[in-house]
Amino acid sequence: MRRPRAFTLIELLVVISIIALLIGILLPALGAARRTARQMQSSTQVRGIHNALVTYAQGNKSYFPGILPTGLLDPGNTAPGNHYQQLLERGFFPGEYSLSPADVKQTWTSGAVTTSNYSYSMLSIDRTGNVAPEGAEWQDTINTDAIVLSDRGIGTSAADARSVWTNDPTEGWRGTVGWNDNHVSFESAHDGLTSSYGDDPVNDGDDDLFLDDEASLGDALMVYSGPGPAQTDVIASD
């Protein structure tokens, strides 16, 4: 009876080398596919939160949480955490939707909503005292140029802005942006964007999500944490 031929050491090393080569080729592709899948999931969640805002607005004279049916700011209820809490407590979307797939946070179940429970910034609406600013457009207007949601900023200044999608601080911010017509985009930077609110003309394409850089209030100013007046710079992370 003929004995089966065994692998030689050289043949075994060749097989191992081929397997290692294939792994080296496939791993980056798998990593890219994973990032793409997370970005798609994030877009779905941002779109879902915007849908919740629109649904809320149907019973609030077209205004989103934080603005009364009269169009005035709801005193003491202008912070994003309060907006999330109104939507979550009424079941407009599940708590998991407020957590980016690229972020590490705690899912909200009950009680006050804090910055540990949400990953997405919302548009600042407390910029002129007790009256909702003209052009803030925190309401259901289907404006394709109005930004209402975005991935939060991490850092201590607009120049230092980065996001949960960037591991290296030198890479800057990139992330999901939700617009008031319910379309979502994934932007590679927080500045250089073009936005328009209300009757304000489209700006010159230099809008910075985390900087109050338009005197007319016709730009997007995203707030991540805390009540009170408008934040004029990117909010530091927890």
For residue 119, is it within any domain? Answer: yes
Per-residue DSSP letter, 232: -
pLDDT of residue 189 exceeding 70, the answer is yes
pLDDT bucket at 92, cuts 50 / 70 / 90: very high
User: What total of structural domains would you count in the chain?
Assistant: 1
For residue 229, is it within any domain? Answer: no
Quote the domain boundaries for residue 35.
Answer: 12-223
What CA–CA distance (Å, rounded) separates 69 from 196? Answer: 23
Tokens representing residue 186 in the block: 């994934």
Say what the pLDDT of residue 63 is.
93
For residue 78, is it within any domain? Answer: yes
Average pLDDT, the chain: 80
Say what the pLDDT of residue 235 is.
40
Note the pLDDT tens digit of each residue in 138-175: 999 888 889 999 998 887 677 778 888 887 767 888 99
**CB count, 10 Å around CB of 68?**
14
For residue 185, is it within any domain? Answer: yes
Say what the pLDDT of residue 160 is.
76
DSSP character string of 88-104: HHTTSS-GGGGS-TTS-
For residue 231, is it within any domain? Answer: no
Q: Could you tell me where the beta strands, DSSP code E, fall in the chain?
A: 120-123, 147-151, 175-179, 184-187, 222-223
For residue 152, is it within any domain? Answer: yes
For residue 233, is it within any domain? Answer: no
What CA–CA distance (Å, rounded) separates 66 from 33? Answer: 38
Higher pLDDT, 166 or 11: 166
Q: Could you tell me where the beta strands, DSSP code E, fall in 145-208?
A: 147-151, 175-179, 184-187
pTM above 0.75, yes or no: yes
For residue 228, is it within any domain? Answer: no
